[in-house]
Amino acid sequence: MVLIAALAALGVPALTGTAEASNGVPGVDVSNWTGEVDWSTVTSGGGKFAFVHATEGSDWTSPAFQSQYGGAAGAGLVRGAYHFALPNSSEGTQQAEHFLANGGAWVADGLTLPGVLDLEDNPYKDRNGLNTCYNLTPEQMVTWIKDFTTIYKRRTGRNAIIYTTTSWWRTCTGDSTKFRANPLWLARWGTEPGELPKGWTKHTFWQSADKGTLVGGQDSFNGTESQLKALANPPAEVNVGGTARGRKTFVLSLANTGPHPLTDIRVDGRAFGGKIAKAPKGCKFSGTAVRCLIPKINVGKKLNFVFLVKPKAAGSVGIRFTVGEVKVTLKA
């Protein structure tokens, strides 16, 4: 496989601590507890992005989300939504769907960051009698997270950001390394991010305090402002691969694993050890050459294209394909 390119209902409990992010691009995170936000003070104070609490569990939505989320965008901030996970209350797939339907869906407008899965200590221990990890084993927690992130990726083409602390991740997932592809938003109040969970070699965002000079939680992006904008609006992406089924049949696979629909995809192929005998609809072939134009592949979709070759009596046989800048050879 080749790669181209609020507690009135439910809410995050109030926390304490003050610090300033020491480097990176500054930003904030807000919730229903924050209330009405004067976003102009965030931008005038140097803030460049915001995360807004959208949902929790499988049925709660923040009453402040729409005004906060829209206000951040109106002020020109790059913004994203976050979901506070309650792994004990329903399946990861169900909570992902709730999040996606209530503000968490990514859109390609240049201002929207991937959605966030907020994983932290159970704040309702006195209410539900469960431990820090919601009484899930590490294996069960990893499965729950996988279910949530898989649905999010399938529906948006983006890897959800994971917000957590190093101690919670170690205790509740066994320091799982299965989510390296998901950007890490590390929560650690202080002047340095400190040690990371085992699965990551760097953090993408860091929450250094719940209050400071800007409204809400104090955060920073570990990179430049242009890199932050690129995270909000990444390029299209397609996986190219395939297989040979004997000496006559070759299957080229194209999967849209990115966040944008793919259109007008050109595929060029050249057979060796024989001539092209049949090609899919949308392809033209003559002798050993074939050229195809694929109108569209939607996000999360995979298409297979079958080519038949009339091989010579002996010797290797196959097709060399070029898709964009990627070359792949299918050989019997």
Tens-digit pLDDT profile for residues 23-56: 799 999 999 999 999 999 999 999 999 999 999 9
The pLDDT-based confidence of 119 (bands split at 50, 70, 90) is very high
pLDDT at 237: 87
Instruction: State yes or no: pLDDT of 275 exceeds 60.
Output: yes
Q: How many Cβ atoms are within 10 Å of 175's Cβ, its own excluded?
A: 13
For the beta sheet containing 283-286, the strands, ordered from the edge strand earlier in sequence to the opposite edge, are 283-286, 289-297, 262-272, 318-323, 326-331
Q: Which residues contact 110 (CB under 8 A, 6 or more apart)?
A: 229, 232, 233
Instruction: State yes or no: pLDDT of 19 exceeds 80.
Output: no
Q: Which of 219, 238, 206 is nearest to 2 (CA)?
A: 238
Average pLDDT over the chain, rounded to an integer: 92
Contact in structure between 265 and 254 (CB atoms under 8 Å): yes
Mean pLDDT, to the nearest integer, of 200-210? 97
Instruction: Tell me which residues are annotated as active site.
Output: 29, 118, 120
pLDDT at 23: 72
Mean pLDDT, to the nearest integer, of 175-184? 98
pLDDT at 7: 25
Mean pLDDT, to the nearest integer, of 263-288? 96
DSSP 8-state symbol, 174: S
Mean pLDDT, to the nearest integer, of 197-218? 96
The type of residue at 14 is: A
Half-sphere exposure (Cβ direction) of 45: Cα atoms closer than 13 Å: 19
Q: What is the pLDDT of residues 47-95, one digit of tens each?
A: 999 999 999 999 999 999 999 999 999 999 999 999 999 999 999 999 9
Tracing tokens 């590390």 back to the chain, one arrives at 186
The token duo for 116 is 């966030």
Mean pLDDT, to the nearest integer, of 276-295? 96
Q: Where are the beta strands (DSSP E) in the chain?
A: 2-3, 25-30, 49-56, 60-61, 78-84, 116-118, 161-164, 184-187, 205-209, 217-221, 238-245, 249-256, 262-272, 274-278, 283-286, 289-297, 302-311, 318-323, 326-331
Cα 286 to Cα 120, 171, 273, 319, 321: the distances in Å are 60, 61, 15, 13, 15
Mean pLDDT, to the nearest integer, of 194-202? 96
pLDDT at 187: 98
The pLDDT-based confidence of 193 (bands split at 50, 70, 90) is very high
Mean pLDDT, to the nearest integer, of 157-172? 97
